Chain A
Amino acid sequence: MDMSVDDLAGGITKVVLRGRFDTTGAVVVELPFNKLVTEKRKIIVDLSAVNFLASYGIRVLLVGAKIVNGKGGSLVILCPDNNVAKVLKTAGMDALIPIHQTEAAAMAALAS
């Protein structure tokens, strides 16, 4: 899997993840993702191009959200309604990390 970073308007950073966010994929992105969440305060994690998510991937997202939240920032997830979203909801992540289906909604949530 791979990760790219876009700086958007309003100090928002969009992290685009692509591929299988399983144990193998999570090990690849964990370090660069952790570095990014320690540096940025308003983050959209775009999972639109992630076609698979397992518990190790959820762990990376949860640790990232905790780090951003701990310094007064916020992290939201952009994810269409698919099996990846179903994994997030089954794991109870939708109660802890805001999940939006469009980039506009995710941007609006971070704009305040």
Chain B
Amino acid sequence: MSPLQLSRLLLRKDVAELERLAGWIEGFTRQGTSPDVSFAVQLCLEEAVANIIMYGGAKDGPLEIAVELERNGTTLVARIEDNGRQFDPTRAPPPAPAASLEEAKVGDLGIHLMRSFASGMDYERCDGRNRLTFRFFEPPEQRR
């Protein structure tokens, strides 16, 4: 059993922070994570944090976003906490499939991608903060 590994990153409300987030995830997943799980973590966190940065204004003071990555054996857990307005992505309806290119709606794909690429996704609101938790399960034979 691998020892518990934990890392935490604080982000500001600035789209440029997404690049820092990507580099930080890359560093965390460089060892002991399969390319598929690494990709899924990158995708879910990019989508979730981009949503918070673009739409999640805080009522009082600056928006603060804290991201944690934790690996325990073959499970990788990602937590995102922010003090922005209440938003539960797990309750967002799935996008309706478009009948044609002309009718296809632009946008609204981020949450659908998160749901599809994470093994599990949970939301809770506590102490005026949103907390979104993703779980990624690593098939042991695919670890690098």
Q: Is the pair B109, A23 in contact by a Cβ cutoff of 8 Å?
A: no
Interface size class of B (residues with CB under 8 A): 20 to 34
A54–B43 CB distance below 8 A: yes
Report A45 CB to chain B, min CB distance, Å: 14
Bound-state Cα–Cα, A58 to B113, Å: 11
Q: How far is the CA of A66 from the CA of B4 in the complex (A)?
A: 47
Q: Which of B60-68, B80-88, B96-104 is the interface stretch?
A: B96-104
| Cβ A92 vs Cβ B95 within 8 A | yes
| Assembled-state Cα–Cα distance A90/B35 (Å) | 18
Q: Are B106 and A59 in contact (CB under 8 A)?
A: yes
B29 within 8 A of A: no
Most buried by B among A27, A55, A69, A83: A55
Q: Which residue of B lies closest to A97 (CB)?
A: B101
- Cβ–Cβ contact B101 & A90, under 8 A: no
Choose among B35, B101, B109, B113 the residue that contacts A69 (Cβ–Cβ < 8 A).
Answer: B101
**Can you name the residue of chain A whose Cβ is closest to the Cβ of B104?**
A96
A56 — which chain B residues lie within 8 A by C-beta? 50
Interface string of A79-97 (1 = CB under 8 A from B): 0000100010011100111
Q: Which residues of A contact B39 (CB under 8 A)?
A: 52, 83
Using CB atoms, name the residue of chain A closest to B50: A23
Contact of A54 among B36, B50, B95, B100 (CB under 8 A): B50
Q: Is the CB of B46 within 8 A of A92?
A: no
Residues of chain A within 8 A of B95, CB atoms compared = 92
Complex: A24 Cα to B15 Cα, angstroms: 8
Residues of A near any B CB (own CB < 8 A): 20, 22-24, 27, 52, 54-56, 58-59, 62-63, 65-66, 69-70, 83, 87, 90-92, 95-97
9 A-B contact pairs sorted by A residue (CB < 8 Å): A23-B46, A52-B43, A55-B110, A66-B101, A69-B102, A70-B102, A87-B43, A90-B113, A96-B98
